[in-house]
Structure 1
Amino acid sequence: MRINRKIPLIIATGALALLTACGGNGESMAGHDGMGSTEPAATTPSAQPSPTFNDADVMFAQMMIPHHEQAVEMADLALMRASDAEIEELAAKIKSAQDPEIQTMKGWLTEWGKPVPSGGVGHDMPGIMSEEDMKKLEAAKGKAFDKLFAQLMIAHHKGAIEMGRTEQADGSNPKAKELAKRIETTQQAEVAQLQKILDRL
């Protein structure tokens, strides 16, 4: 009988403890609500400069920066060497589009706390020109230059399109994916234009 008396007492005590805990939790939650409102405020500022990104976003920016830099270098050569007016016009367009994109991607990497590539290109990148290709382009003149520029830039652009598609499939950063889509669309149109130029040269 003594055991039977103790059981209700234990249950009652447990229930009281549970109610107290719930009340305590309610008060804690109220306190945490106040803290909760400051926690996002504390984490948001640090999150804003470093928005959601993944390894694919980082790789896209780190690879596309030197890829773009080489395209700008090729465009600069065309602005000095091209004999075809359309080649020259397209080179100016490539340079004006890709220079700002380079700066944008460098800004992202800085915000993400990731290394910004500097100097040289990795030859394992899609469509990248070898040093030999670049030397041939530098040495070419007149119509020979125009043809070689068109051929090399088509290959270069196709590589960028491939990289853009990979970013759209695997990336998580909305701005990086948006840029990747823009690169794909713009450079597909330029490939078509370059092919038409090549066909008539």
Structure 2
Amino acid sequence: MNALSIRFLRRPVTAVASAALAAGVLFGGGLAAAPSALADEPAAEQETARFEVDFMKNMIDHHALAVAMAQPYVEKAAHEKLADLCRTIADSQSAQIEQMQGWLQDWYGVGHEPRLSPADKQSVRRLEDLSGERYEVRFMRSMIRHHSGAGTDSKRCLDRAEHPALLDLCDTIRRSNSKQIDTMQGWLQQWYGRQSGYSGY
């Protein structure tokens, strides 16, 4: 599969999301405050609600790039361990994209489809043109940098988000990305005697 043709499931607008739209949750003066962040309600504070919406939109796009980078490697594998990690990244982050799309709709009446910027598409094309050692080294270094950015954003989410489900997801992203970074750094050194240039987040 060409990484740039990747598709994600489009979620239907739920009854809760429709009600949120009718109430003007995200129009005119911005996000309407709600008494508390219950299962299907916006965050209580307007600033927090804005953060949650922006965070989920950005993380959906961020995950889309990781999936676009990881999926083609399953077919280009030189090391099966790295191919397995790519499957894990593609599967878990695709599922998290759908999860965040659902929360955007359920809590805020907002729809968002994954987007790759022109720079993102160019990065994926550069990877697709490589093979063997050059591909693996470039891929792991690129994914380490990518995971580092998501880890930093997830730490910010833990400080500012309100919905427990989103907080749990941010903690999962932070922990899993940190573990995968450590794994890829080890492989870079073990297989190719290379460093990633990453110093932690």
Same fold judged by TM-score > 0.5? Answer: yes
Q: Does structure 2 retain, via aligned residues, the 8 Å contact 1:75–1:91?
A: yes
**Match among 86, 97, 102 for residue 97 of structure 2:** 102
Percent sequence identity is 24
Asked if residue 143 in structure 1 is aligned to residue 138 in structure 2, the reply is: no
- What is the alpha-carbon distance in structure 2 between the residues aligned to residue 62 and residue 157 of structure 1? 17
Return the letter of the residue paired with 2:41. S
- Tell me which structure has the larger Cα radius of gyration: 1
* Residue deviations 1:146-194 (CA, integer Å, cap 9, x gap): 1111010000100110110111111111111110011000110000001
RMSD: 2.2
DSSP 3-state at the match of 2:154 = helix
Q: Which runs of 5+ in 2 are unaligned?
A: 1-33, 193-201
Which residue matches 1:63? Answer: 58
- What is the alpha-carbon distance in structure 1 between the residues aligned to residue 111 and residue 154 of structure 2? 19
**Match among 76, 97, 121 for residue 131 of structure 1:** 121
Which residue matches 2:70? Answer: 75
TM-score (norm 1): 0.69
Q: Does structure 2 retain, via aligned residues, the 8 Å contact 1:60–1:167?
A: yes
Which residue matches 2:111? Answer: 116
TM-score (norm 2): 0.69
Q: Which runs of 5+ in 1 are unaligned?
A: 1-42, 124-128
Which residue matches 1:195? Answer: 185
Measured after TM superposition, the shift of residue 131 of structure 1 is 3.4
Measured after TM superposition, the shift of residue 119 of structure 1 is 4.8
Q: Does structure 1 retain, via aligned residues, the 8 Å contact 2:65–2:120?
A: no
The alpha-carbon distance between structure 1 residues 92 and 132, as it changes in their structure 2 partners (threshold 3 A), is same
Aligned residues: 152
Which consecutive aligned stretches of 4+ in structure 1 deviate over 4 angstroms post-superposition? none
Q: Does structure 2 retain, via aligned residues, the 8 Å contact 1:82–1:141?
A: no
